[in-house]
Amino acid sequence: MTAEMEAVRLHETGGPQSLRVDRIPMPAAGEGEVLVRLRAAALNHRDLFITQGLYPNIRMPVTVGADGAGEIEAVGAGSFEGAVGDEVVIDPMLGWGDDPRVWDTATANILGMPRDGTFARYVAVPSANVYRKPEQLSMEEAAAIPLAGLTAYRAIFTRGALARGETVLITGVGGGVATFILLFAKHAGARAIVTSSSDEKLERAKALGADLAINYKTTPEWAKIVRSAGPVDLVVDSSGGETLRKALDVVRPGGRIAIYGGTNGDATIKLFPLFWKHVTISGTSMGSPQDFAAMLERFSKGLRPVLDRVFSLQDAAAAMQHLASADQFGKVVLRID
């Protein structure tokens, strides 16, 4: 008889309440794959968007979840440097391709749709996508890192080229990715200016080292304050819309803007400051295997992710409702006993 496991599955879109805890056959490690016994998983807005039907090409039924950490349970045919029992964290970026500069659009996809993801007791993934868990991190902390940490790392370093002593503006610091950007910026010896709609989140950001924190809701003229605080070398933004337009006003001549999302829709930008100030705008999404390895290295040197709340696997729908409320600061995690 095939062994079964619990998995949080989506059979039809309709928001987090559409998620069901099912019993399904345990996956097996195919050639070039490993089977991971998951101990923790973490939520991203991508998972929420999938449940809401707001993601392209949704295939169901599917086990959602991109982020996870656990132990190697079994190894499929083919070479693998690790061993059964190793504690690992999973890179959810599948099929990036051979070019570190950009993913291969023919093969790139993210764990947790269409391929079954991490909100389950076991997941089978390509062996190239598992990395040793940084020893000092708990399983919950390790599971919190992958998707947001990878996106943040590539945005700020690989694409944004942030250097020690520079100033970065992080718009909407309450976002899951933005919190990692703040952690990385301070770890790299940069000065960080942050904005948020919430004073409470700004206080949390200051506790993590933010040098200047401004509420963009109560201070609509926030861009003036940023400009008066000195040159901004890099802006990292995912809100788009009006915020991106203002980013062009505040960035210094020769500065950079890295964009990883468009929460508030498309932006109409002024072209004059773009070409007159020789500004570089870079788009970025997820990250290459090289980015993932370099990102994880930071967490082997004392960095810790910020956790908001830990739910049980069975409470995945409630955890996703919590994510949808936008009250969180840091990652929402599922413990998998």
Ligand X SMILES: NC(=O)c1ccc[n+]([C@@H]2O[C@H](COP(=O)([O-])OP(=O)(O)OC[C@H]3O[C@@H](n4cnc5c(N)ncnc54)[C@H](OP(=O)(O)O)[C@@H]3O)[C@@H](O)[C@H]2O)c1
Specify whether the CB–CB gap between 35 and 61 falls below 8 A. Answer: no
Q: Half-sphere exposure of residue 62, counting CA atoms within 13 Å on the CB side?
A: 21
- CB nearer ligand X, residue 18 or residue 197: 197
Per-residue x/- track, 222-261, ligand X (CB under 6 A): ----------------xx---x----------------xx
Q: How far, in Å, CA of 196 to CA of 238, rounded?
A: 12
Minimum CB–partner distance for residue 21 and ligand X (Å): 24
- 63 Cβ neighbours under 8 A, 6+ residues apart: 7, 8, 9, 24, 112, 116, 117, 118, 119, 120, 123
Query: Applying CB under 6 A, which of residues 129, 167, 195, 288 lies at the interface with ligand X?
Result: 195
Query: Applying CB under 6 A, which of residues 45, 115, 121, 133 lies at the interface with ligand X?
Result: 45
- CB nearer ligand X, residue 144 or residue 173: 173
- CB nearer ligand X, residue 35 or residue 181: 181
Q: How far, in Å, CA of 128 to CA of 148, rounded?
A: 19
Q: Which stretch binds ligand X (CB under 6 A): 83-91, 129-137, 173-181, 185-193?
A: 173-181
Give yes or no for residue 175 binding ligand X (CB under 6 A): yes
Give yes or no for residue 146 binding ligand X (CB under 6 A): no
Minimum CB–partner distance for residue 196 and ligand X (Å): 3
Q: How far, in Å, CA of 113 to CA of 111, rounded?
A: 6
Minimum CB–partner distance for residue 154 and ligand X (Å): 8
Q: How far, in Å, CA of 140 to CA of 12, rounded?
A: 28
- CB nearer ligand X, residue 126 or residue 330: 330
Q: How far, in Å, CA of 117 to CA of 66, rounded?
A: 6
Give yes or no for residue 127 binding ligand X (CB under 6 A): no
Helix (H) / strand (E) containing 152: helix 146-153
Binding-residue total with ligand X (CB under 6 A): 28
Give yes or no for residue 68 binding ligand X (CB under 6 A): no
Minimum CB–partner distance for residue 244 and ligand X (Å): 9
Q: Which contacts of 101-105 are long-range, i.e. CB under 8 A and separated by 24 or more positions?
A: 103/285, 103/286, 103/288
Which residue ranges make up the site for ligand X (CB under 6 A)? 44-45, 151, 171-178, 195-198, 201, 216, 238-239, 243, 260-264, 285-286, 326
